[in-house]
Amino acid sequence: MSNYQELLAQKAALEKQAADLEKQLQDARRAERAGVIAQIKSLLAEHGLTVADLGLKPGKPAAGAGGSASAGRKVAPKYRNAQTGETWTGRGLQPKWVQAAIASGKKLEDFAI
């Protein structure tokens, strides 16, 4: 069995290898991205396109490059209180006016838009 000092030396060597590998990964990613960017720029120039033609905003990732496509969008209301005009999308907690109406015997469908 290895002694403590030998294990510490092995750990240090492994950590150095991991750091070297991480640097290689970062370098490879940078090189790959640079190649992709050059290819995209070449295609844009070849076809006379701009970023605006693609429907992209500068500095924003392309759709599908992370996050939900519907993230940040407003949802149309599904229910309306005819007396007050208040609305609810049907998502999240029920508003107090919906809770009160249901408690008084009405059905959620009565408020459907």
Give, for all 113 residues of the chain, the pLDDT tens digit.
679 999 999 999 999 999 999 999 999 999 999 999 999 999 999 999 888 888 877 666 666 555 666 667 888 989 998 888 899 999 889 999 999 999 999 998 888 98
Q: Which helix (H) or strand (E) holds 93?
A: none
Buried b (16+ CB within 10 A) or exposed e, 49-60: eeeeeeeeeeee
Q: Which two tokens stand for residue 16?
A: 């150095």
List the beta strands (DSSP E) in the chain.
79-80, 87-88
Predicted TM-score (pTM) of this structure: 0.43
At residue 83, the pLDDT reads: 86
Selection from 74, 86, 84, 78 nearest residue 108 by Cα = 78
